[in-house]
Structure formats: structure tokens, C-alpha cells
Amino acid sequence: MPRLELNKSLHVPETWGYQQRLRRAGHRITPQREQILELLHCSGKRQSATELCAQTRGMNPATVYRNLAFLVQVKLLNAIEIEGELFYELNNPNAPHHHLICRRCGREQEISAHVAAGFLAELQRTYGFQAEPNHWVIYGVCEACGGQSA
């Protein structure tokens, strides 16, 4: 089995600085970790562990699972729960975003940075709590589906 090579035409923008983030914390950069980040970056969507396992090339499932847990811990990924299932997505600290998901039509609406910031500031003011700018998912009913009356 051909051994995986580091930095072989990956498509994870290094502007993101994931390499620095790993190295500074004393962790290693491996082709396996890069492949996971690449898959999530290129697909541009949340994926479950199982989905990721199916897409990796020449990589053991155990490694996928271990790295997902690892990458969540070091905050390169977010783990988010949707309808009782876990999904993973890149965590870009420079562009945190939060979603409203409608239970009826399933549409996702992004919460503007301004609105989120107001709440974050309130948490800071009231509790002295500095919330991480990661990804929230809030369920409810959107305007079109009757958000007022629900």
C-alpha cells in the first residue's frame, strides 16, 4: 500500500494557518490529518464520521475516528449535533457563523455577526464569560413557516 505523503497537492488553504496552530501546540502534521481537513474543506459541507471514513483513501477507519476526536479537541473542527446525529465541520475562528434551522422546511439561515455579537457581549457583561466563537445551531420555526404563530 503506497504510503501517504505529506503536502501532496492538498487543497486546504494554508492561509487558514492550521499548520501553525498544530505545530505551536506541539502536535504533528500528518497526511491523515490533512486529508480529513481537505475533505471537509473541498466538500464545503458538514460530514459525519461514517461519511468521512467512506471517502478517505488508504486510511484506516480507526485513524479517522481518532483524528476527528483530536481535531475537535484542538479546535480545528467543530462537532455539531443535528437531529441527534454528530457532524464535523472546519472551525474557522476568523469567520464564526451560527445557524437557525427551521424544523418545518429545513431551511438554514445564518445569524449575522452583529446579532450574535450582541448576545456574546451580553454574556460577557452579565457573567464575565468569554464565549468561544464556534458554531451554534438553533432550532425553531422560520418566518415563512409561521414563526410568529408557532
Write the DSSP assignment of 8-64 as a string of letters. Answer: SS--S-GGG-HHHHHHHTT----HHHHHHHHHHHHH-S-B-HHHHHHH-SS--HHHH
Identity of the residue, 10 or 21, whose beta carbon is nearer to a copy of itself in the bound complex: 21
Among 81, 94, 106, 108, binds a copy of itself (CB under 8 A): 81
Quick check: 100 binds a copy of itself (CB under 8 A)?
A: yes
Classify 20 as helix, strand or coil. Answer: helix
Quick check: 78 binds DNA (CB under 7 A)?
A: no
Q: Tell the burial category of 77 from Cβ atoms under 10 Å away from its Cβ (0-12, 13-18, 19+).
A: buried
- Least Å from the CB of residue 13 to a copy of itself: 25
User: Which of DNA, a copy of itself, none lies near 28, with the C-beta cut-off 5 to 8 A by kind?
Assistant: DNA
Q: Footprint of DNA on this chain (CB under 7 A)?
A: 1, 3-4, 6, 22-23, 27-33, 48-50, 53, 58-63, 65-67, 69-70
